[in-house]
Amino acid sequence: MEPSHSEFSCIDGFGHSGYNEHMSLDIKQIAHEVSRGQMAFIDSETCGLHSMMVLWQFAIDDGPIYLYDIWKEPVWKTLELFEMLMELDYCGFNLSFDHFHVAKIYTIWSLLPKDWIPEEHIIEIAMIEARGQNGPCIKPKRSMAAFAPRQISGRPAIPK
């Protein structure tokens, strides 16, 4: 299959390497991987700490790393993808940050027409973003954050 745009190669913080052709994500293939998988490794990219997510990266077990552009895919696909991955154990480096952004996008996208391509409706999304604070909760069945700060409030995070 020929990529529709450029091909991305990546190695993430978990030592996984792989590639993802920058084309529409095959949700049926992901559903198949989820049905056989145990762990989803996730990472979100944002513009600033509290702004909207711009890119979501994920891998299932030791499979390829997918670079998922939430703004170019239909709303229904992003919602379905997030829901599917909640069925797996869920791991991220700074999971409180990354899952905050997954939950934020999930609640906002839940308010949108399911056939929208978000990048075509930026103004409308900005107008309803605050309403997303009261949306449905999305949580993984189990989760693990790989980030462990050396100190919290001047005290060691892990007692010696």
Q: Does residue 55 contact residue 69 with C-beta atoms inside 8 Å?
A: yes
Angle at 38 between CA 97 and CA 81, to 5 degrees: 55
In a domain, 40, yes or no: yes
Quick: pLDDT tens for 67-113: 999 999 999 999 999 999 999 999 998 888 899 999 999 999 999 99
Q: Is 99 exposed, middle or buried (0-12, 13-18, 19+ CB in 10 A)?
A: buried
- The answer to whether residue 156 sits within a structural domain is no
91 is in which domain, residue-wise? 7-146
157 lies in some domain: no
Assess if residue 141 is contained within a domain.
Answer: yes
The answer to whether position 24 is within a domain reads: yes
Domains identified in the chain, total number: 1
Residue 2 lies in a domain: no
Does residue 155 fall inside a structural domain? Answer: no
Give the H or E element holding residue 59.
Answer: strand 53-60
Residue 137 located in a structural domain:
yes
Instruction: Give the span between the Cα atoms of 84 and 92, in whole angstroms.
Output: 16
**pTM of the model as a whole:** 0.77
Residue 8 has pLDDT above 50, yes or no: no
